Amino acid sequence: MTVLRAALLSFVASVSIASAAECPRKDALGTSRVMTVDPQAFPRVGLKSFPQTLPLADKEVALTFDDGPFPATTTKVLAALADECVLATFFLIGRNAEANPAIVKRIAAAGHSIGHHTWSHQPLDKIGQQRALEEIDRGIAADEKALHGVATSVPSTPFFRFPGFASTPALLSSLQSRGIAVFGADLWASDWNPMTPEQQLNLIIERLDYEGNGIILFHDTKAQTAKMLPAFLQYLRRNGYKVVHLVGPRPIKSSSNDR
């Protein structure tokens, strides 16, 4: 038993070290593991909005960034993540993606996951079902067009987050029936409130230490967030936190070509 257990552990270790080995800085935080999020198993996650969340272990965090791409700050966020070899998920606003396709491609080329956050960030619970569905589809299409050149409403990574977490039961059902996972968050930086980078850093550290793990929501459009991110990632490394990279299930189409 012990031999088998040791063999299994070394296998797990070699898998997780693979990404760290590619990191030029040996003392970087790195991405500790990849979690595939299957929307069938996890249609809605994030304890701020829903009763369930992802099965993250103690001290495991998943970093998510909303509302970009926004060149001035998204590029700084990408640089901070790259410096620590950390992978995150970006929930893009479609019209921002349409305006900045090169940054969308950069986010994807760096290995981050791309989720969707509507076309123009309307409160979907207040604009009627039809317009809300259009906002969702147009956003996905713009993100996919920026990513792959094809404006499809079938997302290559089936992750969606409602602007302001403002969902309705009908929209939640619609997304679930399309196999799109809805992300809330387990904790957030409240970076929509103006504060200094130091205040921002202290606030998110305090919340994370209290919660112990979770899906964290930031905004890559905020200068205070971009500025404090390097210090936050160092804090994670020094305090034993691990970053989990969330990815979608493989697209059905490509699975037959993978072997």
Using CB under 5 A as the criterion, which residues of the chain lie in contact with Zn ion when the complex forms?
Answer: 66-67, 163
Rounded-to-integer distance, Cα 179 and Cα 163, Å: 19
Query: CB of residue 37 vs Zn ion: minimum separation in angstroms?
Result: 19
Q: Residue 67 or 98: which CB sits closer to Zn ion? A: 67
Count of beta carbons in the 10 Å neighbourhood of residue 17? 12
CA proximity to 31, closest of 77, 68, 83? 83
66 is catalytic: yes
Kindly tell me which of 117 and 242 has the beta carbon lying closer to Zn ion. Answer: 117
| DSSP conformation letters of 118-178 | -SS---TTSS-HHHHHHHHHHHHHHHHHHHHS---SS-SS-EE--GGG---HHHHHHHHHT
DSSP 3-state percent helix, strand, coil across the chain (nearest 5): 45, 15, 40
- Of the two residues 188 and 241, which places its CB atom closer to Zn ion in the complex? 188
> Which is the catalytic residue, given 112, 116, 117, 219?
219
Q: Residue 182's Cα: distance from chain center in Å?
A: 11
Buried residues in 218-253 as b, exposed as e (16+ CB within 10 A): bbbbbebbbbbbbebbebbbeeebbbbbbbbbeeee
User: Shortest distance, CB of residue 40 to Zn ion, whole angstroms?
Assistant: 25
Q: How far is the CB of 46 from Zn ion (least distance, A)?
A: 13
* Beta-carbon count within 10 A of 71 CB: 13
Between residues 137 and 191, which has the closer beta carbon with respect to Zn ion? 191
Decide: helix, strand or coil at residue 217: strand
User: Active-site residue 258, yes or no?
Assistant: no
Q: In this complex, which beta carbon is closest to Zn ion, that of residue 175 or of residue 236? A: 175
Local structure of residue 10 (DSSP, 8 states): H
Considering beta carbons, is residue 67 or 186 the nearer one to Zn ion? 67
Which residue lies nearest Zn ion, judged by its C-beta?
Answer: 66
Query: Smallest distance from the beta carbon of 51 to Zn ion, in angstroms?
Result: 22
CB of 257 to Zn ion, least distance (A): 35
Selecting among 66, 67, 137, 186, the annotated active-site residue is 66
How many other CB atoms are found less than 10 A from the CB of residue 6? Answer: 10
Query: Least Å distance between CB 255 and Zn ion?
Result: 32
Query: Which residues are catalytically annotated?
Result: 66, 219
